[in-house]
Structure 1
């Protein structure tokens, strides 16, 4: 059971690290600047990776599998919400798109962290830019990844037969 849980957490950890590597590759190699909602989605993958890392190291025997599944489900739910918001912003007609805001670094410096969070989650004009890979927008890919990893995490709570 412990090895099965470690394998499951290892898959989630590896998937999150590969997704983050891809996101940074798009930024540093392809020159695509991430919008504030993209940065939040990256943080969600970091959170999922941290939960998976702790679960991997712990092995999550017995009730631990439910604790880690619950934590990762909360993180996944926040990622689904952010990705859905991002997809909604991208679906807006150009006249309804919010104005572009200042950069994330400036907002944190000028307004502080607590005031910046709602502004970032509201999205801005640059969040409405559509970048697609293989015909699917980037928030569409992240939404799919959140759903698949969330289902994988929930499947890990089942006892082996």
Structure 2
């Protein structure tokens, strides 16, 4: 069954794009607007990574060439890896909160007030709200689940790309 699914790259990329959109809708419409959670700087970085993975996978789903699937798939894997790193760092902060919790600045305030080479390390340093656990599902925080889904996307995309036929002498095998 898994081989059947992975042998249709356009469906795989399309499914990942739809999953990304569904996860974003859940985060924005339910967690933010209904529950009332405000995203921290690391949550916003993960949200942007999810948007970019979804867009790259949607582009891959609309292309019909294996070379395009490889290109957009590898870009998606890179961005998903960055999202997984950010989620893992936030999970670590939640398990080992800073001694002095400060709310810090939001992402936009950091970028507006500091040069980019100072703002990026500040984002990954985290703040009091990055280490807060405001919502859980099946024992996992939002950052934990974000990490799990980024890793699933990476594994599925790599497995799909490995199933693509190899090109020889510039032509697809018959």
TM value normalised by structure 1 = 0.87
Larger radius of gyration: 2
How far does residue 94 in structure 1 lie from its aligned partner after superposition? 5.5
**Within 2, Cα distance between the matches of 1:82 and 1:108?**
17
Query: After superposition, where does 1:35-50 map in structure 2 within 5 Å?
Result: 35-50=40-55
Kept in 2, the 8 Å contact 1:65–1:156? The answer is no
How far does residue 135 in structure 1 lie from its aligned partner after superposition? 1.8
Alpha-carbon RMSD across the aligned residues, in angstroms, is: 1.9
* Corresponding residue for residue 106 of structure 2: 103
**Within 2, Cα distance between the matches of 1:70 and 1:108?**
28
SS of structure 1 residue aligned to 2:129: helix
Moved over 6 A (4+): none
Aligned residues between the structures: 156
Q: Unaligned regions of 5+ residues in structure 2, if any?
A: 1-6, 166-174
Kept in 2, the 8 Å contact 1:41–1:79? The answer is yes
Q: Unaligned regions of 5+ residues in structure 1, if any?
A: none
> In the alignment, does 2:23 pair up with 1:27?
no
- Map Cα deviations across residues 105-130 of structure 1 (whole Å, 9 max, x no partner): 32232225453222112211110001
* Corresponding residue for residue 134 of structure 1: 138
**Greater share of helix:** 1
SS of structure 1 residue aligned to 2:39: coil
How far does residue 87 in structure 1 lie from its aligned partner after superposition? 0.6
Kept in 1, the 8 Å contact 2:60–2:73? The answer is no
